[in-house]
């Protein structure tokens, strides 16, 4: 999120410094699956699902501009997503979803068993039907974060890796900068985009602190030898499968309240493997390439926190939970609009921090 905003703001002429504790793009944004699947993720239409759809529409132009600026290729696969039903309960849920989404004008098709098997013969024989979302795609998020760093630097942003932000500096009027482990960085605008850690910058008044907590996700990748077993992203009530062009097949993901413990567990790995084999028995003999875990930044209502705080000059771009890769283009565009025009775009208002501190006095 920080890199996407930095690229956008530096492009718009702001002087930008990215302060990063480790290496850029190595936490949740590296761990993610890169699915851009708002129509699968959300049961109903809300301000957040609408924002995710808006960001999805921005993705093709975002990737094209990012490839051009960074000079690197981004694996952005646009074969759509299948959401199969494995039993009667799944099928009932998907049929109700189809009905709702058709009324809302979502691009969704119902596929018969025969059609699903023709598209993805490696899915379990338990499949009864599936929904097909032609516009819900996926991107290699690791390509995106690498390209964002190059692009941001090319338009003049300064990236300071291995520099921990310790606290935000401010006086009675506004923000003055960031205190880091290696000195002070002066600034009259500070954007806190520290993901799962964003409530821990010290010294901030409580009303500026986002109620963000980490939610662990474990994932693994299988190596594909020979023909790719899947062409589409497979989203399901069990595991999801995300085929990369490189030949890796991602299997995700657990959703766990485990504090800041960011490691793969025996139970997590077992569950992912069991679910993957249930969804696609053909995966049984595939080599495991790697396993990892990441911390999704989550808020109590599951929506991100984007925009100004009561402290002048201090902004937030955090709490994107399961959809931060998807929401990167729109969040960056909203931040640019807020900082250049001074106004919060109407569509961004539901994501202000004030929804959590409505009754608190100003800082
Ligand atoms: C397993 C898993 C699967 C996911 N799948 C998807 C998906 O398919 N689609 C999707 O859209 N989203 C997905 N997500 C969610 C997505 O990854 C996140 O919402 C998004 O990456 C959050 O981005 P961020 O920049 O806020 O956080 P992060 O990527 O965690 O970045 C925060 C950065 O802040 C730095 N930092 C923290 N504290 C400090 C400090 N004090 N000083 C300096 N730097 C600091 C960290 O080092 C880190 O680099 C997934 C997440 C996980 C874990």
CATH topology of domain 2-29+142-210+306-355: FAD/NAD(P)-binding domain (3.50.50)
Q: DSSP string spanning 133-186?
A: ETT-EEE-HHHHHHHHHHHHHHTT-EEETT--EEEEEE-SSBEEEEEETTEEEE
Q: Strands 81-85 and 233-234, how do they pair?
A: parallel
Query: From ligand 1's centre to the CA of 331, what distance in Å?
Result: 14
pLDDT for position 172: 86
- Residue ranges in the chain whose pLDDT is less than 70: 359-363
- 230 touches 120 (CB < 8 A): yes
Ligand 1 atom closest to Cα of residue 321: 19
Question: How many whole angstroms separate alpha carbon 71 and alpha carbon 100?
Answer: 42
pLDDT for position 362: 47
CATH 3.30.9.10 placement within the chain: 213-298
Work out the burial of residue 261: count CB atoms within 10 Å of its CB; fewer than 13 is exposed, 13-18 middle, 19 or more buried. exposed
pLDDT tens, residue by residue, 28-79: 999 999 999 999 999 889 999 999 999 999 999 999 999 999 999 999 999 9
Q: Which residues pair with 133 in a beta bridge?
A: 81
Question: How many whole angstroms separate alpha carbon 305 and alpha carbon 348?
Answer: 9
User: How many C-beta atoms lie closer than 10 Å to residue 232's C-beta?
Assistant: 24
Ligand 1 binding pocket includes 41 (Cβ within 6 Å) = no
pLDDT tens, residue by residue, 293-307: 999 999 999 999 999
Contacts of residue 310, defined as CB under 8 A and 6 or more positions apart, other chains included, come to: 205, 207, 208, 354, 357, 360, 362, 363
Degrees (nearest 5) of the Cα angle 108, 334, 144?
A: 65
Query: From ligand 1's centre to the CA of 32, what distance in Å?
Result: 8
Cα–Cα distances in angstroms (integers) from residue 296 to residues 35, 168, 315, 356, in the given order: 14, 23, 20, 19
Ligand 1 binding pocket includes 322 (Cβ within 6 Å) = yes
CATH topology of domain 213-298: D-Amino Acid Oxidase; Chain A, domain 2 (3.30.9)
Cα–Cα distances in angstroms (integers) from residue 75 to residues 34, 252, 277, in the given order: 10, 18, 25
Work out the burial of residue 45: count CB atoms within 10 Å of its CB; fewer than 13 is exposed, 13-18 middle, 19 or more buried. middle
* First-residue to last-residue Cα distance in the chain: 26
pLDDT for position 200: 92
Question: How many whole angstroms separate alpha carbon 347 and alpha carbon 339?
Answer: 16
Q: Which two tokens stand for residue 81?
A: 């997503």
| 3 state SS of 263 | coil
CA 69, distance to chain mean position in Å, is: 22
| In 221-283, alpha helices (H) | 266-279
Ligand 1 binding pocket includes 240 (Cβ within 6 Å) = no
Write the residue with the smallest CA distance to atom 15 of ligand 1: 322
Query: From ligand 1's centre to the CA of 318, what distance in Å?
Result: 9
CATH 3.50.50.60 placement within the chain: 2-29+142-210+306-355
Global pTM reads 0.97
pLDDT for position 359: 60
pLDDT for position 283: 96
Q: Which residues pair with 234 in a beta bridge?
A: 82, 241
Ligand 1 binding pocket includes 157 (Cβ within 6 Å) = no
């Amino acid at each position: 999120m920080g890199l996407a905003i930095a690229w956008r703001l530096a492009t718009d002429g702001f002087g930008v410094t990215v302060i990063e504790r480790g290496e850029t793009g190595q936490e949740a944004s590296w761990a993610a699956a890169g699915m851009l699947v708002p129509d699968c993720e959300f049961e109903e239409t809300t301000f957040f699902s609408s924002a995710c759809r808006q960001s999805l529409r921005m993705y093709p132009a975002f990737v094209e501009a990012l490839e051009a600026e960074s000079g690197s290729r981004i694996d952005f696969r646009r074969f759509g997503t299948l959401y199969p039903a494995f039993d009667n309960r799944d099928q009932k849920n998907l049929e109700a979803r189809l009905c709702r989404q058709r009324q809302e004008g979502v691009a969704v098709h119902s596929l018969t068993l025969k059609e699903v098997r023709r598209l993805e013969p490696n899915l379990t024989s338990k499949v009864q039907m599936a929904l097909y979302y032609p516009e819900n795609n996926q991107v290699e998020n690791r390509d995106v974060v690498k390209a964002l760093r190059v692009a941001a630097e090319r338009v003049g942003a300064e990236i300071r890796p291995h520099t921990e932000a310790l606290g935000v500096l401010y006086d009675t009027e506004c923000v003055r900068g960031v205190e880091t482990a290696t000195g002070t960085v002066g600034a009259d605008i500070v954007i806190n985009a520290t993901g799962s850690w964003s409530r821990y910058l010290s010294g901030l008044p409580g009303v500026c602190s986002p109620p963000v907590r980490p939610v662990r996700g474990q994932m693994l990748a299988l190596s594909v030898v020979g023909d790719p077993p899947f062409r589409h992203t497979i989203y399901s009530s069990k595991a999801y499968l995300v085929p990369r062009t490189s030949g890796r097949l991602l299997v995700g993901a657990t959703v766990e309240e485990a504090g800041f413990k960011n490691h793969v567990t025996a139970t997590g790995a077992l569950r992912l493997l069991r679910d993957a084999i249930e969804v696609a028995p053909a995966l049984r003999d595939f080599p495991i390439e790697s396993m990892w875990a990441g911390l999704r930044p989550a808020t109590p209502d599951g929506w991100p926190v984007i925009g100004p705080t009561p402290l002048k000059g201090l902004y937030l771009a955090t709490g994107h939970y399961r959809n931060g890769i998807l929401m990167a283009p729109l969040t960056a565009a909203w931040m640019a609009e807020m900082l250049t025009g001074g106004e919060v775009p109407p569509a961004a208002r539901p994501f202000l921090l004030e929804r959590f501190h409505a009754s608190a006095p100003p800082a």
